[in-house]
């Protein structure tokens, strides 16, 4: 009996050793404790998001490309802190640039390539060098959750070629007990595959150790080329409830997956910056917070635009601070990333019905909150667009007349009246000039980046006020969303900035002002 037990135990241990040992979430969190991207945080005050096909063109094709971006880098940051006619951003997030069959490029055919619309690996290396010369960091979009239908892995999967038959969740029959929601499952070659976003974007089997290994080598490929960080697309979709058998702890598995990827990436470059798209409220995002250096603050985006449209400021700060505290409690090194909109959302100017005063106030809000804010290309011009995806990704309006350096990959529909970069650049009161001033201010007063934040109750709905403070200084920021001017009791604060010309203790309707404690 005893012998049998021992034999059983030996067999059990042998069995275990054949499956890859995977560290638990808790073990990974412990191991990654203290891991951060503080160097990135110190050097990067603001990130600029570029949708490459729509930004700038360099050749006979009308589509935007990497050389076009290189040609325009001096407009984003010329590397000279004494000149102020550039935007002043410190990092660029590029939407996907690898070979793909679509214009959005989220269906990747080869992860270690540059799409021919955009250039070659040599153009990419030139972009890295040109960014380096100007002190601009580069963040690449990594589409881990799914590949293109035409990706060689998926084609081999469909043909049952080993080991690729396990690269995607391989389901022969959809048992309704295990897969109660089959709306995102598709059939090809007598088997099923899962594709949440589009039937042309089949989703990988994240449970397969070989797939995880593929991803490690893809990350290494780009890190070796000199990129500074990654933006993880659709991070919560890696394990999606309808994709794995019922009762699979998908959220917990997602966190484990990303912790493992993070551990690997940090072993290659311990200062790599990892930001995730977890399109969820703070309540869910806090579960993901230990896995990343940063996440986009979707609650902030929704709340700011809602507040500007309604003029109702009550509860905004309480909700913001609660979300912030909850996330910092699980990851003290977490870097929040406020933003207004991205390539998937109706452009902020459209959501604000083209109201320039509100667009400027949105910029003042975005650039006076903690963390690393993101600007979606064209927001600084007040570009519009809503509804279908391509409406939100119109060509950047460089000039008054169409020209060869514009990325005219599609007709301009929503931005026929958008004032061009050229015209706004020459106008000190333009939205572009407002963005430039605020970005410069954020650099001049690091307290706006790193300081604490607390509500400053003005006892007036329609007035949003908060303090940004640290041991160096104490700033008071006031946004007036009323339709009349508002008199402030200054209490020892001196005005250092205002978005209009008015008395020091008056904030005009739609205006924003910053005060410094004497």
The catalytic site residues sit at 233, 277
Q: Give every strand in the sheet of 91-94, ordered side by side.
A: 335-337, 294-296, 273-276, 229-232, 137-142, 91-94, 47-50, 374-376
Question: Given candidates 59, 344, 400, 457, which one binds Ca ion under the rule CB under 5 A?
Answer: 59
Assess contact for 107 and 59: CB atoms under 8 A. no
Judged by CB under 5 A, does residue 133 bind Ca ion?
A: no
Stretch that binds Ca ion, among 94-102, 230-238, 247-255, 461-469 (CB under 5 A): 230-238
Asked if 208 touches Ca ion (CB under 5 A), the answer is no
Using CB under 5 A, which of the segments 183-191, 201-209, 486-494, 501-509 binds Ca ion? 201-209
| Residue 78 binding Ca ion, by CB under 5 A | yes
Q: Binding of Ca ion at residue 100 (CB under 5 A)?
A: no
65 binds Ca ion (CB under 5 A): yes
Please count the residues of this chain forming the interface with Ca ion, following the rule CB under 5 A: 14
Cα–Cα distance, 506 to 498 (Å, whole number): 10
What minimum distance in Å lies between the beta carbon of 366 and Ca ion? 20
| Coil/strand/helix, residue 50 | strand
Burial of 50 (0-12, 13-18, 19+ CB in 10 A): buried
DSSP 8-class letter at 385: -
User: Does 115 interact with Ca ion (rule: CB under 5 A)?
Assistant: no
CB of 500 to Ca ion, least distance (A): 25
Residues 487, 263: Cα–Cα separation, whole Å: 52
Choosing from 39, 43, 61, 280, the residue that interacts with Ca ion (CB under 5 A) is: 61
Stretch that binds Ca ion, among 27-35, 40-48, 145-153, 254-262 (CB under 5 A): 145-153
| Strands of 281-334, DSSP E | 294-296
3-state secondary structure of 158: helix
Residue 183 or 353 with smaller CB distance to Ca ion: 183
Q: Which is nearer to Ca ion, 65 or 299 (CB)?
A: 65
Contact 507, 498 (CB under 8 A): yes
Does 63 bind Ca ion (CB under 5 A)? Our answer is: yes
Q: How far apart are CA 381 and CA 434, in angstroms?
A: 10
57 binds Ca ion (CB under 5 A): yes
Stretch that binds Ca ion, among 151-159, 196-204, 212-220, 284-292 (CB under 5 A): 196-204
Q: Is 80 in the site for Ca ion (CB under 5 A)?
A: yes
CB 394 within 8 A of CB 407: no
Token duo for residue 36: 């951060």
Q: Which residues bind Ca ion (CB under 5 A)?
A: 57, 59, 61, 63, 65, 78, 80, 83, 86, 145, 203, 237, 240, 243
């Amino acid at each position: 009996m005893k012998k049998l037990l021992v034999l059983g135990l030996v067999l059990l241990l042998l069995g275990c050793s054949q499956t890859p040992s995977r560290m638990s979430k808790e073990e990974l969190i412990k191991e990654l404790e203290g891991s951060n991207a503080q160097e990135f945080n110190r050097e990067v005050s603001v990130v600029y998001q570029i949708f490459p096909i729509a930004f700038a063109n360099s050749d006979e094709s009308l589509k935007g490309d990497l050389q076009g971006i290189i040609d325009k880098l001096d407009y984003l940051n010329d590397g000279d802190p004494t000149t102020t006619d550039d935007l002043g951003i410190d990092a660029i997030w590029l939407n996907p640039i690898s070979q793909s069959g679509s214009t959005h490029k989220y269906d990747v055919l080869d992860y270690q390539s540059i799409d021919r619309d955009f250039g070659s690996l040599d153009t990419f290396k030139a972009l890295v060098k040109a960014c380096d010369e100007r002190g601009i960091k580069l963040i690449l979009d990594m589409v881990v959750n799914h590949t293109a239908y035409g990706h060689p892995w998926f084609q081999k999967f469909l043909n049952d070629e080993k080991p690729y038959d396990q690269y995607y969740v391989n389901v022969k029959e959809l048992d309704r007990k295990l897969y109660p929601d089959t709306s995102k499952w598709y059939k090809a070659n007598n088997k099923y595959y899962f594709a949440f976003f589009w039937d042309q974007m089949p989703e990988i089997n994240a449970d397969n150790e070989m797939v995880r290994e593929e991803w490690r080598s893809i990350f290494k490929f780009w890190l070796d080329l000199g990129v500074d960080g990654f933006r993880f697309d659709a991070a919560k979709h890696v394990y999606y409830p309808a994709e794995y058998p019922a009762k699979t702890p998908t959220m917990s598995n997602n966190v484990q997956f990303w912790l493992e990827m993070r551990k690997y990436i940090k072993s290659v470059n311990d200062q790599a910056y990892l930001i995730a798209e977890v399109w969820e409220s703070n309540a869910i995002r806090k579960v993901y917070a230990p896995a990343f250096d940063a996440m986009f603050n979707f609650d902030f985006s929704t709340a700011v635009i809602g507040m500007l449209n309604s003029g109702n400021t009550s509860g905004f700060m309480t909700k913001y601070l609660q979300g912030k505290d909850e996330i910092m409690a699980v990851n003290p090194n977490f870097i929040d990333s406020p933003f207004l909109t991205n390539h998937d959302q109706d452009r902020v100017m459209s959501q604000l019905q083209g109201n320039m005063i509100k667009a400027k106030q949105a910029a003042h809000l975005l650039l006076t909150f903690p963390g690393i804010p993101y600007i979606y290309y064209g927001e600084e011009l007040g570009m519009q667009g809503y509804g279908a995806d391509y409406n939100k990704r119109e060509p950047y309006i460089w000039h008054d007349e169409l020209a060869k350096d514009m990325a005219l990959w599609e007709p301009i529909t929503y931005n026929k009246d958008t004032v061009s970069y050229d015209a706004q650049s020459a106008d000190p009161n333009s939205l572009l000039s407002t963005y430039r001033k605020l970005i410069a201010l954020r650099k001049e007063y690091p307290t706006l980046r790193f300081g604490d934040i607390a509500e400053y109750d003005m006892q007036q709905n329609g007035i949003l006020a908060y303090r940004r403070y640290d041991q160096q200084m104490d700033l008071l920021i006031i946004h007036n969303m009323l339709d009349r001017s508002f008199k402030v009791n200054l209490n020892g604060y001196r005005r250092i900035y205002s978005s209009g010309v008015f008395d020091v203790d008056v904030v005009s309707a739609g205006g924003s002002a910053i005060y410094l404690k004497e």
